[in-house]
Amino acid sequence: MSDPLTLPNLNIEQFDVPTSDDFPPIVDGRKPRILLLYGSLRTRSFSRLVVEECERLLSLMGAEAKVFDPSGLPLPDDADDSHGKVQELRDLMAWSEGQVWCSPERHGSMTSIMKAQLDWVPLSIGAVRPTQGKTLAVMQVSGGSQSFNAVNQMRILGRWMRMITIPNQSSVAKAFLEFGDDDRMKPSPYYNRIVDVMEELMKFTLLTRGNSAYLTDRYSERVESGEALIARVNLPKI
C-alpha cells in the first residue's frame, strides 16, 4: 500500500487551461458577454497584449469577448457624446455582462487613456445604469518592478460605478520581458495568474447572471424612487 502522503508522478500537461466544459452548462444558450479595455495606444502596447491573451482565454472558456480600441476616442467633454467612438464604447458597456480593465502604470497611476474611457461612461443614461451589477476584473502592466497602484485605483472606480469587482487581480512586472516576438505571453507565474483571474471572472459572471439587479438593489434608491412617484401622482391637475 502506497504512502497516502506521497503524490504520484504528474505530467504538467494534466494542468490544462480551463475550457467551457469546466464551467456549469449555460442553460439559455447565451455565452457570457465580456468587454475588455486597455490603456495604451503604443504600437506594441503590453496592456493590449495582455487583454488579447485574456480574450483568447475567455473564448476558450466559453465567453463572447470583445476588445474596445480606444484609438480615436476624444477626451471627455472635448466632443459631443454622439461621437462615433463614444457611442461604440457606450454600446459595448450596455452589451457586456462582465468587463476586464488593464492599464499600464504611469507616474504611479492608471493612464489617462484608461481613465478617459471610463469617464465617457456616466453612472446613468436615462433610467439605465450602464455598469451597475456587471462583474469586473482589474489588471495592470508595469515597465519596472511589480506595483499595484493602477489596480487599486481601478478597484475604486469599479466600486464607484457599482460593479462587482472580483477578489483576484493581476499585475505584470517588466512586461516587456513576458512576451515573445510573436506577441504571445510566455509561460510564467504571471501568465498563470492571468488564467486564474479570467477563470474567476467567468465563475462570478455565471453565478451572478440574473441576480445582479437584486444584488445591487438599494433601500435608499427605492425610497428616492417612491418619493418621485408620489410627487408625480400628487401633481395638481391643470
What are the pLDDT digits (tens) for 186-225?
Answer: 999 999 999 999 999 999 999 988 877 777 777 877 777 6
Q: Which residues pair with 170 in a beta bridge?
A: 139
Per-residue pLDDT at 98 exceeds 50: yes
Domain boundaries, given as residue ranges, for the chain: 29-213
* Assigned C-alpha cell, 62: 466559453
Report the predicted TM-score, pTM, of the whole model to 2 decimal places.
Answer: 0.82
- In angstroms, the CA 173 to CA 13 distance is 26
The residue whose grid cell reads 509561460 is 187
Burial class of residue 46, CB neighbours in 10 A (0-12, 13-18, 19+): buried
Give the pLDDT confidence score for residue 10 in this predicted structure.
Answer: 43
170 touches 140 (CB < 8 A): yes
How many Cβ atoms are within 10 Å of 233's Cβ, its own excluded?
A: 7
> 3.40.190.10, 3.40.50.360, 3.90.1150.10, 3.30.300.30: which CATH number matches 29-213?
3.40.50.360
Q: Could you give the count of Cα atoms lying within 13 Å of 33 in the half-sphere of its Cβ? A: 11
Q: What's the rounded Cα separation, in Å, for the pair 55 and 174? A: 21
Ramachandran region, residue 133 (left: φ > 0; alpha: ψ -120 to 50; beta: rest): left
How would residue 4 be classed by pLDDT, with cut points 50, 70 and 90?
A: very low
Q: Can you tell me the distance from the alpha carbon of 88 to that of 106, in angstroms, rounded to the nearest whole number?
A: 26
